[in-house]
């Protein structure tokens, strides 16, 4: 039985309309190749690496959230290594052979893939900018509305002028930071003439937080007679009162004080030459009488307590005692003496005795305290 040519074509057309495609018995099917998700820039980077002789490449892959597992397994089947994987973010960083990078870019489950590269930062130097016109520095006579700070623009200067007594008087503010410069004139007294810094407390744990400003008194009691005693291979004189004391010492360049308050030490240590004598690593003896928590410090390191400006120090909140490492030279523009406080502490659990040296360990603390209470505000704690 035969079929006309027109009838055959009509039958094929009917099958195609019905969604059926007839393939000759001798033909074979070829699966469609997945599309690469590399950009043109990625392929440029791969070509550059090939010219440089690289054999592997790092790829950054984005997947649907919690869809990283299958992609990671596929990368491993290609012989690659998963360097980092974050399931919640849907992110995988992998290392694969350069010749298999294209295969990796076509894997199922990948939303985006890029070749890892270092992006150079632009040079921030303002080439061609001329020096600004010199202007007078602000002083005590500079008005609240001034060109140095945007207080006029924010309305702060006008507000204070209209309400001169709304300056925080009667309020105590806590500053939790790196210490406060006890000599800064803006942090000395409030607008009503009261002391501004009313307490100084170090809240780090003496033995567990690695704070070098805590010194342990681990030895036996030392007997002082005639104002003289021997400790750490030195003989100390001029001590004011005989009796039983605990003795320790502190090394200046391990205190953690910023170089702004001393000369930076080189060759180790993170602190400063606090007494500015040109030698880092000086030790300062500290004598503590636990019965009334009084501390004496040989703050100039000359093994004599007779020339100390402060006879005995207590917690700052008791008498507001402040002592200084080194001696200031009034002929220089920089104040060489560095202020500090003390904080005795007895640990009832370990039965250990500690004294903290409260010292400025960074300019940030004074910066924050200066913003918070300023010159005409309340106390700082």
Q: Where are the beta strands (DSSP E) in the chain?
A: 56-62, 81-86, 91-97, 112-115, 172-173, 214-216, 222-224, 229-231, 234-236, 243-251, 263-264, 272-273, 283-289, 294-297, 323-325, 338-347, 352-359, 379-380
Cα 263 to Cα 271: distance, rounded to the nearest angstrom: 9
Neighbours of 41 (CB within 10 A): 11
Confidence category of residue 94, pLDDT binned at 50, 70, 90: very high
How far apart (Å, rounded) are the C-alpha atoms in residues 253 and 268?
Answer: 8
Give pLDDT, residue 162.
Answer: 93
pLDDT band of 21, cuts 50, 70, 90: very low
* Mean pLDDT of the 60-87 span: 93
- For the stretch 283-299, pLDDT in tens is 999 999 988 999 999 99
Q: Is the pTM of this model over 0.75?
A: no
Query: Distance between CA atoms of 200 and 188, rounded to whole angstroms?
Result: 14
Q: What is the mean pLDDT of residues 323-338?
A: 84
Distance CA 245, CA 224 (A): 7
CATH 3.30.70.2980 range(s) for the chain read: 40-115
**Which residue has better confidence, 165 or 30?**
165
2 pLDDT tier (thresholds 50, 70, 90)? very low
**Residue with the larger pLDDT of the pair 108 and 65:** 108
For domain 40-115, give the fold: Alpha-Beta Plaits (3.30.70)
Q: Tens digits of per-residue pLDDT, 148-161?
A: 888 889 998 899 88
Q: Is the pLDDT of residue 190 over 60?
A: yes
Q: How far apart are CA 64 and CA 108, in angstroms?
A: 11
Average pLDDT, the chain: 82
């Amino acid at each position: 039985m035969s079929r006309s040519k027109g009838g055959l074509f009509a039958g094929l057309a009917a099958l195609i309309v019905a969604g059926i495609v007839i393939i000759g018995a001798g033909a074979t099917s070829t699966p469609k190749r997945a599309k690469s998700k590399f950009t043109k820039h990625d392929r440029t980077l791969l070509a550059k690496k090939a010219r440089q002789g690289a054999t592997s490449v790092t790829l950054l892959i984005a997947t649907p959230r919690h869809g990283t597992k299958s992609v990671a397994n596929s990368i491993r089947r290609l012989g690659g290594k998963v360097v980092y994987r974050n399931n919640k973010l849907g992110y995988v960083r992998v290392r694969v052979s350069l010749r298999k990078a294209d295969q990796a870019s076509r894997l199922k489950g990948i939303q985006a893939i890029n070749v890892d590269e270092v992006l150079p930062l632009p040079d921030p130097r303002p080439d061609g900018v001329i020096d600004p016109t010199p202007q007078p520095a602000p002083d005590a006579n500079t008005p609240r509305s001034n060109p140095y700070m945007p207080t006029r623009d924010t309305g702060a200067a006008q507000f204070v002028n209209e309400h001169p007594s709304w300056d925080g008087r009667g309020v105590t503010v806590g500053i939790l930071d790196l210490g406060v410069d006890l000599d800064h004139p803006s942090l000395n007294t409030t607008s009503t003439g009261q002391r501004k810094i009313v307490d100084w407390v170090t809240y780090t744990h003496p033995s567990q937080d690695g704070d070098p400003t805590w010194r342990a008194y681990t030895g036996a009691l030392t007997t002082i007679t005639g104002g003289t005693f021997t400790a750490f291979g030195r003989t100390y004189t001029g001590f004011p009162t005989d009796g039983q004391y605990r003795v320790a010492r502190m090394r200046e360049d391990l205190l953690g004080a910023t170089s702004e308050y001393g000369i930076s030490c080189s060759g180790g240590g993170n602190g400063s030459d606090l007494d500015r004598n040109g030698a880092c690593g000086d030790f300062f003896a500290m004598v503590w009488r636990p019965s009334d928590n009084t501390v004496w410090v040989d703050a100039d390191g000359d093994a004599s307590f007779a020339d100390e400006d402060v006879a005995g120090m207590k917690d700052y909140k008791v008498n507001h005692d402040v002592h200084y490492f080194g001696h200031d030279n009034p002929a220089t523009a920089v104040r060489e003496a560095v202020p500090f406080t003390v904080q005795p502490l007895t640990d009832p659990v370990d039965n250990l005795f500690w004294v903290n040296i409260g010292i400025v360990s960074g300019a940030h603390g004074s910066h924050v305290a200066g913003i918070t209470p300023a010159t005409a505000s309340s106390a700082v704690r």
